Amino acid sequence: ANVPFGLVQVGPTSIPQTWDWCSGYHASDSTVIGFSHTHLSGTGIGDLFDITVMPVVGEVTYARGEENDPASGLWSYADRTREITKPGYYSVPLVRYGITAELTATERVGLHRYTFPASDAAAVVFDLENGGCWDKATDTGFRFSDDSTRIAGWRCSTGWAKNQEVYFVAEFSKPAKGISYLQPGEIDDSKMPRIAARYARVDFDTAEGEQVLVKVALSPVSIEGAKANLAAELPGWDFDATAAAADKAWNDELSKVKIETEDETSKRIFYTALYHTMVAPSLFCDVNGDYRGADGKVHENPGRDTYTTFSLWDTYRAAMPLMTVLHPERMPDIIQTMLHIADEQGRLPVWHLWGNETDCMVGNPGIVAVADAIVKGIGGFDREKAFETIRKTAMNPDRGNGLRMEYGYIPCEMFNEAVAYDMEYALADGAAARAAETLGKAEDAKYFEERSHSYRNYFDPQTGFMRGRDSKKGWRTPFNAFASTHRADDYCEGNAWQYTWLAPHDVAGLVGCFGSRARMLEKLDSLFTVSSVVEGGETSPDISGLIGQYAHGNEPSHHILYLYTMLGQPWETADKVREVLTTLYHAAPDGLSGNEDVGQMSAWYVLSSLGMYEAEPAGGRYWFGSPLFDRVEITVPGGTFTIVAENNSAANKYIQRVWLNGQPYTKPWIGHADVMKGGELRFEMGAEEKVWYCPDEPEAYADQRPAEEQRLFKSEAVEGEIARVCGLLTNERLRWMFANCFPNTLDTTVHYGEDEAGNPDTYVYTGDIPAMWLRDSGAQVWPYVQLCKEDPALQKMIAGVIRRQFKLINIDPYANAFNVGPTGDGEDVGYPGNDQSPWVFERKWEIDSHCYPLRLAHHYWKTTGDTSVFDGEWISAMRNIVKTLKEQQMKEGPGDYIFLRTTDRQLDTRCHVGRGNPVKPVGLIVSAFRPSDDATTFGFLVPSNFMAVTSLRKAAEILTAVNGERELAAECTALADEVAGALQQYAVVEHPEFGKIYAFEVDGFGSTQLMDDANVPSLLAMPYLGDVERTDPIYENTRRFVWSTENPYFWRGAAGEGIGGPHIGVEMIWPMSIMMRAFTSEDDAEIRDCIVALMTTDAGTGFMHESFSRHDAANFTRPWFAWQNTLFGELILKLVNENKVDLLNSID
């Protein structure tokens, strides 16, 4: 019996038999040696059982005793058929003595009520000798008193907690007729003030059915503290009122979560689990606030409650996060307790018990708990001090961390359980990085984020497992992923199968270890299907609750099921979470698949049954799984947070759609802050396995364009086209997005003027960057060319773009972006070796910077017939273009062009002192940078070389037909032919799955880069640009490859799927790739899917963005990116003009 988080847990203790008796009580055992006041909740190691009280009748032997000898000790059989158990009340008859024992408690006091038979030899025995498991008493005794209604004493012991001190004061409801103090086998009747004894017998005369009550108050500080605790918490003798108060305390806490379900068994399991989460952390201070510190000293009231029983390696995963939701009022004191422990022992706790650091288990779990509180914005403690304590703990060299800081990982021959220690340290570093980010500590965040990747050293790509590594980086040999040697191998209570996944803080990095998301998912799938046999002579008994090698019975596996949602397969999470909830938890004494571990096993059930779980340490969010109950109401500081699961059943276990506070919700997780402010989270459940996603619809489709007077350029033809298209579309959202996006370049980026000679001169921003990219500007105005004949002003504006582009190429043919004039603005001004003109904003050599102007000029000429733009500036530009392209064939050596930049992004500069990796001069053209503005790895960028071929042919056509420059035209044609031939020889590779495909980059020596980037020119976009035929068999193979997980920059998640690139980073999808898929598709269903994806990933803004997170479209980059906006408009206009209006209108 206890109250929530109380210091006292008074209950029966049995004669211990095996490890399974760690908590003192076992359902299979009917022996009772007494009622102890301290117990642990389902730990893997036993301790405590302090101040054991046993009612007896007659003469007894003062010892624990053996079950095969009833007279060998104090023990009695209990009549378990009449046992009554409640959280705050316990009752059982003791068969040997004919006594009924009843127990209840306050926070620091246990209250006993014993109903005795008639006897002149009734007694209550205080046992200070026997403790839990290997706990041994070192100093015990009683304080003599003439008061026959009171006894006081102490018990000091050593065991798991090396130096434990417990003080007590007991009072009786009637005077004793005598008190004897005993050592085993002898009686001490002395009247010394301090009596060194292990037992005390308090005798009474009792009538039949007479009840004797005993109050026992504990203190970790002193007898005086125990006396004060007793006076404050239980001055009277009303047992029933005390039990009712305990019952109310539990109901108040348990009622913080109210569930609705017709499944009574699940309800019983849930509230039992919830109860288990509220046993610890337990109070560890007196009513006046005094406590015993980790330094062994008594500390005066620090102005808050102090706690103990921190099983942090277990509980940081679910139990502590659940505390932040259900008990936020306790969290400041709990965190301050941890910080004071760190002050007293030099680092945050690992497994703290009654003032003692047991150092049980691995890693720095205290960091995770404190960081989680910081990230979640929990107040009531000094956050700066908390982070300093995190940093100090993270840099402490003890427990293998010094080796980690020396080698970058923990060598397996130097330290036991090296892999487990390092992976837990890495995970804690990830939490520290999140806390640093929250507090604005950028350098700390960067340091700990980088150090959190240390676990990657253990990944063996040959076996696909985390594997021990020695100080010379050799692998642990022999290696068996199924093997386990309990607490004596590279893992801790697990094997390679379980530990390979212990990087929830760095799932992207884990994907990188496997090489692709698909490979990681394949391996993850196998975790649940391989044999459940654990091999070895002394395997860990903690590897339990097995599904394949997934071990739910031990904590390192607890996050694994949620990795599927993180990897874009939420249906797999739902499947497996439901399986665990319904098959590995039961309403029975053996209802758990492993140790309770002070509430962690139950906390997993509680959170997962609610439909959410904090899979990332200190992530500040809860990932969705599969809610078990139809309705849940959680009391939070903001009121009530309600979770509704509509259409929920055993078959309908998959999330179909989600709403938060009545609005469609786009994320596969919910933030802690959203939970705590209250509201309603509503799931629509179904039987369909799907990546669910619901767009965040705006309340009204308000015009997102600038006010008419603020638009930079107005075109009657464009406005007319918007009206025409919107008149054909029936989908209100699609009309709105088209009207926002199609004119965005004209509205916001076009600056039209005339040069000194009166010729049109147009400067075009790329969007939110006030510079003109040759590539972007050529793409941005491209869709308007088709409307030029209807709008002379529009034609002049585009002619001005073409003229400006040729002028800029002549200023610097190697530059990709330019200022509006010779302003000297730009990122690299003055950098040695860049030799940058003041006109140049950025001097990254990209082939497509020449190709887009040529593509635009040719399209303009073919559409309008206007040749005025092809003057002397054009001829000079063409000579510079041909000269530059030939230089970059590298036939005469590396040339003069270099690019260097001080940057924290690897691909934002070039290696080899700005010259890039070597290439073999095979006729292809080097592009120092990709259209994403990232440096190439192998200089021959294949899609850009294809674009160069078609662009040169278009230029030759103009030079011949307009200018009569046959020699220069022939030079263009020859160069195009040479590059085309080299592409067929060097750009085609054999892929093991897709057959012949085009590589993304090559170097002529045989090295190839197999990937695609979203930015155009890309492999996917080549038919859109006219560079290859859509029916080209090699392209068709390439297209399948780039839109698959074999492309390392293809992502699929809750928000959608598509291609990204290294420019923004992993897991970020570029809408441009989805548009290119539609542009190059011949399948109406595929095109429709692309349009739906674009409509549902705008985060409710009505515009395209540079990129969005595969899991959360609301997490996007660049709210203003004119190229992608206009490209979306171009796509919709193309589909309308191809008579696919019905296709577009089929989207509801």
Instruction: Of 1072, 1076, 1087, give the one whose Cα is nearest residue 1118.
Output: 1072
> 679-686 and 639-646: which strand pairing?
parallel
How does DSSP assign 3-48, residue by residue? -TT-S---EEEPPP-SGGGTTS--TT--EE-EEES---SS-SS---
- Contact indicator for 691, 705 with CB cutoff of 8 Å: no
- Provide the 3-class DSSP secondary structure of residue 188: strand
499: amino acid identity, one letter:
Y
Phi and psi based region of residue 1010 (left: phi greater than 0; alpha: psi -120 to 50; beta: remaining)? beta
What pLDDT score does 751 carry?
A: 96
Which two structure tokens, joined as six digits, stand for 728? Answer: 């054909």
What pLDDT score does 831 carry?
A: 61
Tell me the per-residue pLDDT of 815-860, one tens digit each, with 9 for 90 and over. 999 999 999 988 776 565 566 899 999 999 999 999 999 999 999 9
- Contact indicator for 1029, 1035 with CB cutoff of 8 Å: yes
- Contact indicator for 36, 51 with CB cutoff of 8 Å: yes
Q: Write down how long the chain is.
A: 1148
90 beta partners: 85, 103
11-254 CATH, one of 3.40.47.10, 2.70.98.10, 3.90.550.10, 3.40.50.300 = 2.70.98.10
What pLDDT score does 1087 carry?
A: 96
Which two structure tokens, joined as six digits, stand for 1141? Answer: 């209006």
Q: What are phi and psi of 420, to 5 degrees?
A: -65, -45
| CA geometry: angle 576, 510, 692, nearest 5 deg | 45
- H helix runs in 888-941, sequence order: 911-914
Instruction: Of 680, 658, 681, 668, give the one whose Cα is nearest residue 562.
Output: 668
State the burial class of residue 569 (Cβ atoms within 10 Å of its Cβ: 0-12, 13-18, 19+): buried
Contacts 24+ apart (CB under 8 A), 228-231: 228/286, 228/287, 228/288, 229/108, 229/109, 229/169, 229/286, 229/287, 230/108, 230/109, 230/169, 230/171
- Provide the 3-class DSSP secondary structure of residue 154: strand
Expressed in angstroms, the distance from the first to the final Cα of the chain is 59
Tell me the per-residue pLDDT of 179-229, one tens digit each, with 9 for 90 and over. 999 875 454 455 556 778 899 999 999 999 999 999 999 999 999 999 999
What pLDDT score does 187 carry?
A: 47
- Contact indicator for 426, 451 with CB cutoff of 8 Å: yes
- H helix runs in 399-441, sequence order: 401-407, 418-438
- Those residues of the chain that have pLDDT short of 50 are 185, 187-188, 693-699
- Provide the 3-class DSSP secondary structure of residue 811: helix
- Contact indicator for 1107, 1069 with CB cutoff of 8 Å: yes
Beta-carbon contacts of 115 under 8 Å, excluding residues fewer than 6 positions away, are 99, 100, 102, 209, 210, 211
What pLDDT score does 312 carry?
A: 96
Rg (CA), the chain: 37
- H helix runs in 1043-1121, sequence order: 1071-1079, 1084-1095
Residue 722 is inside which H or E element, if any? Answer: helix 716-728
What pLDDT score does 1114 carry?
A: 80
What pLDDT score does 699 carry?
A: 40
In angstroms, the CA 217 to CA 110 distance is 6
In angstroms, the CA 135 to CA 924 distance is 77
Query: In the Cβ-directed half-sphere of 1111, how many Cα atoms lie within 13 Å?
Result: 18
- Contact indicator for 845, 928 with CB cutoff of 8 Å: yes
In angstroms, the CA 640 to CA 634 distance is 6
- Residue 284: CB atoms within 10 A of its CB come to 23
Q: What is the 3-state secondary structure (H, E, C) of 315-340?
A: HCCCHHHHHHHHCCCCHHHHHHHHHH
- Provide the 3-class DSSP secondary structure of residue 877: helix
What pLDDT score does 419 carry?
A: 98
- Residue 638: CB atoms within 10 A of its CB come to 13
Strands (E), 76-149: 76-77, 84-86, 89-94, 99-105, 109-115, 119-127, 136-143
Instruction: Of 17, 2, 18, 134, give the one whose Cα is nearest residue 68.
Output: 17
- Provide the 3-class DSSP secondary structure of residue 289: coil
Per CATH, domain 257-686 is 3.30.2080.10: yes
Longest dimension (CA), the chain: 129
Domains of the chain, residue spans: 11-254, 257-686, 722-748+1049-1148
- Contact indicator for 989, 996 with CB cutoff of 8 Å: yes
Mean pLDDT across the chain: 94
- Contact indicator for 362, 304 with CB cutoff of 8 Å: no
In angstroms, the CA 851 to CA 453 distance is 41
Cα→Cα distances 827→14, 833, 946, 949, Å:
75, 14, 30, 31
What pLDDT score does 691 carry?
A: 74
Beta-carbon contacts of 977 under 8 Å, excluding residues fewer than 6 positions away, are none
